[in-house]
Amino acid sequence: MSSLYERLGGTDGITTIASDIVDFHQKNPRIAPRYADSDVAAVKNAVATFFISGSGGPDVYEGKDMLSAHRGMNIDAAEFVAAIDDVMAALDKNGIGQREKEETLFILYSLKGEVLHV
Ligand code: HEM
């Protein structure tokens, strides 16, 4: 089977998905305040490149590791679920299938220990 990267639409598809994810975060009352002072274009680029590299695409991510990126934020479980809900909604919006949603969900869940209460 082709890589998750290819099945998410490659760099172009993932760039659109990442933009939608950040748009959804900014409209999601549970987590929007976290992004109040963010450079939206920079966050979209970080999320896109993280997904590209983490799904089997080219090694383009130059951002922080997940522990360093979220250290000190004390993110709670409800925020973690809310953020993942936005990712699933963005995959739906872009016509991504259940198999790919399951694989993405598994990857995100596996990062819980580097994001939650760190
Ligand atoms: C598995 C889940 C998550 C992943 C994969 C993830 C991924 C990322 C990535 C790639 C960055 C950019 C790091 C950099 O700039 O070098 C980032 C930053 C950030 N994340 Fe997460 N994140 C996750 C969960 C969360 C949650 C639950 C929250 C809380 C609502 C959150 C809030 C933030 C904030 C506020 C930033 C900084 C944005 C900025 O630079 O302005 N993240 N995250």
Judge whether 16 and 9 are in contact, CB under 8 Å: yes
Question: Domain 4-115 adopts which CATH fold?
Answer: Globin-like (1.10.490)
Query: Which ligand 1 atom is at minimum distance from the Cα of 112?
Result: 1
What residues does each domain of the chain span? 4-115
Q: Is 116 in the pocket of ligand 1 (CB under 6 A)?
A: no
* 31 contact partners, CB below 8 Å, separation of at least 6: 25, 79, 82, 83, 86
Residue 116's DSSP bridge partners are: 75
State the pLDDT at residue 1: 77
pTM for the full predicted model = 0.97
Q: Is 105 in the pocket of ligand 1 (CB under 6 A)?
A: no
Query: Which ligand 1 atom is at minimum distance from the Cα of 47?
Result: 10
Tens of pLDDT, residues 67-105: 999 999 999 999 999 999 999 999 999 999 999 999 999
